[in-house]
Each structure stands twice: as structure tokens, then as C-alpha cells.
Amino acid sequence: MTAPSSSPLLELSGVGMRFGRSTVLQDVGLRLFSGEVHALMGQNGAGKSTLIKVLTGVVAPTAGEMRLGDRSGWPGSPLQSQQQGISTVYQEVNLCPNLTVAENIFAGRYPRHGWWQGGRIDWAATREQAQRLLARVGLDIDVTRRLSEYPVAIQQLVAIARALGIDARVLILDEPTSSLDDDEVQGLFEVLRRLRDEGLAILFVTHFLDQVYALADRITVLRNGRWIGEWPTPELPAQALIEAMVGRELGPASAGPTAGAAGGEQAPALLQAEGLGRTGSIQPTDLAIRPGEVLGIAGLLGAGRTELARLLFGLDRPDAGVLRVQGEVMRFSNPVDAIAHGLAMCPEERKTEGIFADLSVRENIAIALQAMRGMGQPLSLAEQREMAERYIALLGIRTPGPETPVGLLSGGNQQKVIIARWLATAPRLLILDEPTRGIDVAAKQEIMDQILRLAAQGMAVVFISSEMSEVVRVSHRILVLRDRRPIGELPAGSSEDAVYEMIANEHA
């Protein structure tokens, strides 16, 4: 490894950013050295994405200074950022799948015949230079083939090759491994180590702790838009990193369960997964959930919680393992199959995947039951109104009436409408993915109370939340995930710190 320079190649100091009345960055600093991989860590909402936008000229900061080499000042646009030698590769490959590999690498800056403006594209030089850039990232592929003909791992390396083509001095990688399997991740890391050793400064943003310790030389932590600290990686153990991210020391794990599932620990499993997994999504996972039980799924962002929920509900199809419902092997082709067997799911993205904003509260509640019955058995308007009014009262949905467009309600009441929609189908198992995200404290309390009431009535609930306090409060058991794989299970009554310790100690 090339020793990093004594002074940083890029330095940010006192960075502040406001959107309206909201402060999203305050007094943030960052130092990047040539010949280093630097991990930028923080929980969801810590300010990482905003800092990258500031650094790459997407938005202008409201305070702070930036120095790159011997030059001071902020880039006024992403183009200026690239011209200064800063290149970014995002989680979603931002290329054109219908163009060839060579065209993607040089789109907007093709080699041309002659020096004059508008000279013809030199396709031979384009292909030759593309091959040369790909060789830097260890690829030897046909650059005349369309990008869409190659797998995601190859596309990610093509994106890095394009970034290197602008004579990058700083390479920013925002969640580059989110769509890669283990072998592909290791291949990418070999490339990044080689680029580091060539003197490139690499900023690596990830939620995978193992990857931080496998690749990064230095770590910076943000929390709630503030700079918490910078450490050489060997000086910041996993537990200390998590403590820096969550903002407190981890205490000792608490004792065993304080409550049991209404159905009893010996009740047969309603749903059971045996080695259930999907390549590039989540590694083989075992779980069982019984009637009257709340199974919490815990883990840091990127741990694989939503990916597991999608497999259980048939949104994604597993390529490993078996799923059983009441002992019978199931192969859900889609969510309709899951619904027919008594499963229901409230998705993480409420506004884009949950509500139909222009439809009324009544229509939003009735739509899942109508789908189950089919168009041959339409719900009458009277049935829909009775159903809507019943769940408005049951869940305490605050609305002027059942005909109010659901998009006009608060986030918490929108979430209650989605829960009502699925309760109307009388499910045996309800999967809740981030049901309290973006809603006020009172609404969170009401939803968690409702979850416990449903379990007491015999319903099985899978509960996923980024708020660890919520997971430990409502769960009879907690399945802990890390880096898209299960690492253990905790009983009811476990503390937040017990979950964090399990995540941290798995690395030890």
C-alpha cells in the first residue's frame, strides 16, 4: 500500500447546510488523503448524502470551506466538480444500458478527429481508450457490446472506469456493493485497493460494517448532521463505531424475556423459513413465527430487513431455501399468492408503495379486500362505507370522513389507513416494514399499541423498524441481521444495547 501524504488532498471544514428552517449539516469536517480509502459512516439521516451533494456541486452549502489540492472554493456544479477531479459512482449505476460500454465510458466527451469544435467522433480511439480504462479496473470485455448485456457487477466497474476517465483524484463510492454478491464484492475491493495504491483518494459510503473493516484505512462518523470524529480504522472497534453512530455507550445486555406470545412458545409455527435466501439480496435465513407473536427484525440500515420481508411476501422470489405456511411448502409467485394464504404487508415506502393518494380513505381501505374477492364479487358502496367507518373508529384514524382523499391526511393517519386495508382482509400474518417512519410521537405510540393488541388477539406480526427502541418494546423475539445475513436471536425484554452488542460482537 502506498503511504498516504502528510497533508490531505481534500479538506472540508465548518460545512453547514440548511433547507428552509431545517439544518441538515452543522460544522461538518472531512479530510481525504491520497492513497487512502476513507469510510463515511452514519445512520439514516446522519447527513452523508447531503455532504456528498455539497462536495460534488449538486447543492451549495450555507457555510464552510473546501480545499482541493492548492485550490480553495466550492464547485458550482457537478461538471465543475468533475473538472476539478472529483468523480462519483452511485448505488444505482447511472449509465445508459442501451449504449455500448465504450459509449457509456465516453458519453459527452468522445475523442474526436482534429482539434476543432465539433470534429467527428474517433470511434477507433474511443474503443482503444475504453479498453485502457477498463484494464485499470481489471476488466477485459467487448466494449462494443451494449452495457445491458453485462451483469450489475460489471456495470459497476464500467461506472468506475468512466469516473477514472476524467483524471479523477477523488473517487466517491456511494453504496457501491448494495447489488453485489460476496464474490463480486471481493472483486470490487481488489480493484479499489489497486486504485488506492496508485494514489487515488477514495471516499467509501456503506452500511456494511464488515466491508468497512475489510477495506477502509480511516473512518469519519456523522450523526444528526454533525461531525462526530475521525479515526484510523484499527483504532475504532466495531462496538465503538456503533456507539459513535447511535450517540451513547452500549450498556450490558438485559436478562431474559418479560412476556411470551399469546399463542405460547409451543404453538406450531404459522410461518417458517428454512434457509430462505436470494443471491445479492439476503443470505439463507431460518425463522419461525407463531400465532399471537410479534417477531422483530433488527439491524442497521442495509442489514437486509426489507429484503427478508419481500421474500416472505412474494415480492421477490428466493433462489434458496423453503417457506412453509402451517407446515405446507409454499412457492409464492407474487404477493397475490401470499395474500391468498393469509399474509399481508405494509411496505416501507408509504407514499410510493402504500397509499393511493388521490383515492379516498374508503377506497384505500377497501382495495385489498376487493382484489382478494375479484371483480366478479364487487364490494357494494354500503359495504365499503361500513368497513371504512369501522376501521376509522378502531384505529382512531383522524379524517374529516371516509370520502376524504388519503393524500390529505397526516403521515401517521395514512399509515393507519394502510394497516386498516390489510386488517380488512383478516390476515393471519401481518408484515410491517417501518410502520412508524416519518410520523409524530403520538401516532407512533398508537400504532405500537395496536400491534400489541393484534398479537393479543392471535395475529402473527413481523415488525421491522430502524428505531431500535420500538423493536425491543413490541417484540416477543428479535431476529438480528447484519450485512444481509442472520447473526442471532434475542428474547423479549432484551435491551437496545443487547441488539447493538450482538451486531458489534459479530465482527469481533
pLDDT band at 418 (very low <50, low <70, confident <90, very high): confident
Q: Which helix (H) or strand (E) holds 238?
A: helix 238-246
| Angstrom distance (rounded) from CA 116 to CA 105 | 22
State residue 229's pLDDT score. Answer: 96
Count of CA atoms in the C-beta half-sphere (13 A) of 423: 21
> What CATH number should be reported for the domain holding residue 493?
3.40.50.300
| In a shared domain, residues 396 and 331 | no
Q: Do 435 and 420 share a structural domain?
A: no
Asked if 416 and 302 sit in the same domain, the reply is no
In a domain, 503, yes or no: yes
139 lies in a domain?
yes
Q: Are residues 131 and 67 both part of a single domain?
A: yes
Range of the domain at 52: 30-245
Q: Is residue 296 in some structural domain?
A: yes
Domain boundary residue among 385, 407, 425? 425
Q: Count Cβ atoms below 10 Å from residue 342 Cβ, excluding itself.
A: 18
**Does 449 fall in a domain?**
yes
Backbone torsions φ then ψ of 185, nearest 5 degrees: -60, -45
- Do both 437 and 421 map to the same domain? no
Domain boundary (191, 226, 245) is at 245
| Same domain? 231 vs 270 | no
CA distance 164 to 176: 15
Bridge-partner residues for 229, per DSSP?
Answer: 221
* Mean pLDDT along residues 314-342: 90
Number of domains in the chain: 3
pLDDT average, residue stretch 180-188: 78
Q: Which residue has the cell 458550482?
A: 76
Q: Are residues 286 and 404 in the same domain?
A: no
pLDDT single digits (tens) 64-120: 999 999 899 999 998 899 889 998 887 666 788 889 999 888 887 777 776 555 678
Residue 351 within a domain? no
Residues 178 and 287 in one domain: no
Residues 439 and 327 in one domain: yes
If asked whether residues 421 and 444 sit together in one domain, one would say no
Whether residues 323 and 179 share a domain: the answer is no
Phi/psi of residue 86, nearest 5 degrees: -105, 125
**pLDDT tens per residue across span 485-507:** 999 999 998 888 899 899 888 65
Predicted confidence at residue 296, as pLDDT, reads: 95
Using pLDDT thresholds of 50, 70 and 90, give the confidence band for residue 263: very low
Whether residue 461 sits in one domain with residue 421 = no
| 38 assigned to some structural domain | yes
Q: What's the 3-state SS for 420-481?
A: HHHHCCCCCEEEEECCCCCCCHHHHHHHHHHHHHHHHCCCEEEEECCCHHHHHHHCCEEEEE
Q: Is 233 inside any structural domain?
A: yes
Using one digit for the tens of pLDDT, what is the confidence trace for 343-385? 988 887 766 777 888 899 999 999 888 887 777 788 889 999 9
Single residue among 393, 425, 457 that ends a domain in this structure? 425
Calpha distance 270→291 (Å, rounded): 6
Residue 385 belongs to some domain of the structure: yes
